[in-house]
Chain A
Amino acid sequence: MQKMFLGVLIAAVGVLLVSVPLIAHHGAAGLDTGKEVTMKGTVTEWIWSNPHCFLQFDAKDDTGTVRNWAVETQNPTTMTQRGWSRTLFKVGDEVTVTIEPAKNGQPIGRILNVVLANGQKLVAATATTPEPAR
């Protein structure tokens, strides 16, 4: 029964997600498309704005260096439809963020999903399908 309920929720969220285009203002140029990086970090800022909301957080990279990341979502209208809000994050919140990072190695990228300290997972986007090799 529990598995069926989870399946129902996944189906409902999945249909809602695919009903809204994933990429509006700009496409994937500059992103390391197809790569996903997951980091645990501490929120330093959450900006709810057009054309993109963006989350800034401190996290250790794989060399152990703490960097401040700035990662974006779609605009507030689209993110509201996905269950996000202006008050979703506070400075100091501990979060686990999965992103599609920039190709140039800078601490920026696109948020794919976030898991809050209470375990709630919010999806922002699905990973970009890489262009086939020519």
Chain B
Amino acid sequence: MRQDFIVFMVVSIAVFTSVLTRAQMKPWNNSGLTGPQAGPSAPAPRRDLSGTWDAGAGGIQPTGHVAAPFSARGEQMARANKPGNGTRIVSVSDDNDPLSTLGDPTGFPRIVLYELRPFQIVQTTNQVLMLYMFEKRWRVIWTDGRALPNDPDPRWYGYSVGRWVDDYTLVVQTVGTDDRTWLDNAGNPHSNSLRTEERYHRVNRETMELTITLDDPLVYTKPWMPLDKLSIRLMPSGTDLMEMIPSASEAAAYRRVIASQAKPQ
């Protein structure tokens, strides 16, 4: 009986590992990493976040985040957002999420606070580029020492600058993010005055941790951290990723075929 159990466990692990390996080695259209991290890693390279990274299940963040208390204005903004998930969930027929019902851009910081699927980091002499699988968007983070703009025209993805605070930690500041976007899938709002800080800390060659702090005094009574050391793993070099683009036409088809029929009676 004990021998049968040992054989069962050994075979289980072998099957599981082989499934993982095959999933990571497709030449095209990989969906992301699944399963636990394998084995010890090498030391982190200095001032280098290059590579394709995946937060796995931890990046999906389907129910959104528990925010800091709202200001009066924040409460008003939150009431206008009717999310399909989270603590203020409504029926899918009443969902007014601009991303999933209209095909509006996800925007920043929602692109790291919802469906953070695999993303590639590319470093140039004066930029860090983030290339996201979700929505196939990119962000430019300037690392040439320039100051953030003062009261700029809002952009869906804001204005970002970054600096290394040590050889393994890049800190990014972003301002000027358009208040038409939601913060997350729970419909938490933000204003155009939101300041977002991301800290990318490379722990070792295979692992990075992401911490995000939001500061938006018009909407929230204090700064808060929707992500605290989210673990992100390096994918094999040369990984081709699936497209994952929530198009307006697909959003409309879903509303027509399913969401419109889901109204409670």
Contacts and interface: CB of A to CB of B under 8 A. Distances in A.
B230 interface: no
A20 B34 contact: yes
Interface string B253-265: 1100110011111
Nearest to B7: A4
Contacts of B98: none
Contacts, number: 128
Given A15-B35, A76-B244, A81-B34, A106 B57 contact: no
Interface in B235-265: 242, 244-247, 250-251, 253-254, 257-258, 261-265
Contacts of A7: 8
A81 B244 CA distance: 13
Chain B interface, >50% SS class: loop
Nearest to B35: A19
29 contacts: A4-B4, A4-B7, A8-B11, A8-B12, A11-B12, A12-B15, A12-B16, A16-B16, A16-B35, A19-B56, A21-B60, A24-B85, A25-B85, A26-B84, A30-B262, A47-B257, A49-B247, A49-B254, A50-B250, A51-B250, A52-B254, A54-B258, A75-B244, A78-B31, A81-B32, A81-B34, A102-B261, A106-B262, A108-B262
Question: Which of A19, A49, A77, A103 has its CB near the most chain B CB atoms (within 10 A)?
Answer: A77
B43 to A, nearest CB: 28
Interface residues of A, number: 41
A56 B261 CA distance: 14
Interface string A96-134: 000000111111100000000000000000000000000
Interface in B1-59: 4, 7-8, 11-12, 15-16, 19, 23, 29, 31-32, 34-35, 56-57
